[in-house]
Amino acid sequence: MKTFSNEQALTILKDLIAIKSVNDHEKVVATYLHDLLAKYGIDSEIRTVHGDRANLVAEIGSGKPVLGVSGHMDVVEAKENNWTSDPFTMIERDGLLFGRGITDMKAGLAAVVITMIELHQQGLPKKGTIRLLATMGEEIGEDGSKTLFSEGSMDDVDGLIIAEPSGYSIGYAEKGSMDIKFTSKGIASHSSAPDKGFNAIDALMNFLNDANKIFRDKNIGSDTMGPLTFNTTIINGGAQVNSIPALATAEASVRTVPEYDNQKVIVTLHNLIEKHNQSGAQISFEVYMNAIPISMDKNNILVLQIKKLMEQYTTEEIKINPIAPATDANYLMRGKTHNFPFIITGPGNDTAHQVNESLEKQMYFNFIDIFETLFVEFLEKSILK
């Protein structure tokens, strides 16, 4: 007999949506989950990272093998005026649930926690450990997973499930992600006498044009992940209209692939900047977010197990693909070999970060059932190996 009815599972999700953990306040989410787990006899630890931001770690079972299950507790801003309802009050309409974070990724987080409680109430797992790694700061910086990794929380883990929104598809790899700031310094002068100054904007634009030519080459990419992408997303410069600008900055978002990884991007930028600076520019750059690409075996045991389970809940083709967004796998998977069991799979769709973010209600329930079987199956098969 299940511990939670569907209505109780919805209440947990509704409570999580109501917590405004917009790039902050994950400790409130962690405290809610800590208290929920404690109610059913599961110990957990709230690990403060800084301020009101914390990770949560909990375990059921004991010994090896260890299955890690992860989800992040933060959400992106909602821009509430554009929503048709309060984004932090979960509502249901036509079989869909609406709320900020419903897809990315409080439904996945709730499903994982509910699954652990359901299994614990059944005295499962008999052998092995299921470890919850609930993170702060995934949306910006990934400080939560970085901290868990540095603390050794992944050292003894034998497989990892990140419950990011995939719907009935399976991710086994992801592009890397780099956020880079470029700074161009010039010499100010009156715009009527440009020869007495040096235009920082012109220098920066010339550099960015050359960078685009390099990184948008169709030959730079991966057969499985697609092309490397380089996009300038923020640009600022100048003080007033009649002055030659002495300073300009730009920020770029880069999505990398194993064949052209983060280090290769850094080397390419360094060489290109050196070339431009030899011609009089003064350009420098800072990489302030540096997530490496992750590519694991497409046929690892977790992929095969969850695919078989998903087939019981949908008639759609179950796609097994790399994903474009970066996740906490960037840190949690560091040092793992290519055949390490790993999937990015959870309830959700493509409305993440959008106005009126939504989720099919039945999918939420289905993933609780899928996870309940998957978690135990993985440990049992790993023991037999």
For the chain, give the mean pLDDT.
97
Which pLDDT score, from 0 to 100, does residue 79 have?
86
The helix (H) or strand (E) run that includes residue 28 is helix 26-39
Mean pLDDT within 99-121: 99
Which pLDDT score, from 0 to 100, does residue 385 have?
64
> Token pair for residue 291?
């997530």
**Residue 193's pLDDT band (cuts 50, 70, 90):** very high
Which pLDDT score, from 0 to 100, does residue 100 have?
98
Annotated catalytic residue within 138, 142, 174, 179: 138
Annotated catalytic residue within 26, 74, 164, 357: 74
Q: Kindly report, residue by residue over 350-372, the tens digit of the pLDDT.
A: 999 999 999 999 999 999 999 99
The helix (H) or strand (E) run that includes residue 173 is strand 169-174
Which pLDDT score, from 0 to 100, does residue 88 have?
98
Task: Determine the Cα angle at 296 with ends 326 and 65, to 5°.
Answer: 105
> Token pair for residue 241?
């209209």
pLDDT tops 90 at residue 32: yes
Q: What is the largest CA-CA distance in the chain?
A: 82
Mean pLDDT within 45-49: 99
Task: State the fold for domain 6-175+293-384.
Answer: Aminopeptidase (3.40.630)
Report the alpha-carbon distance of residue 113 to residue 134 in Å, rounded. 10
Is 151 a residue of the active site?
no
pLDDT tops 70 at residue 112: yes
Mean pLDDT within 72-90: 95
Structural domain boundaries of the chain? 6-175+293-384, 176-291
Is 138 a residue of the active site?
yes
pLDDT tops 70 at residue 240: yes
Q: Kindly report, residue by residue over 82-103, the tens digit of the pLDDT.
A: 899 999 999 999 999 999 999 9
Which pLDDT score, from 0 to 100, does residue 74 have?
98
DSSP-assigned letters across all residues of 253-311: EEEEBTTB-HHHHHHHHHHHHHHHHTTT--EEEEEEEEEPPEE--TT-HHHHHHHHHHT
> Token pair for residue 286?
């800072």
Which pLDDT score, from 0 to 100, does residue 352 have?
96
Q: What is the CATH number of domain 176-291?
A: 3.30.70.360
Which pLDDT score, from 0 to 100, does residue 15 have?
99
Mean pLDDT within 111-118: 99
Report the alpha-carbon distance of residue 256 to residue 291 in Å, rounded. 9
pLDDT tops 90 at residue 10: yes
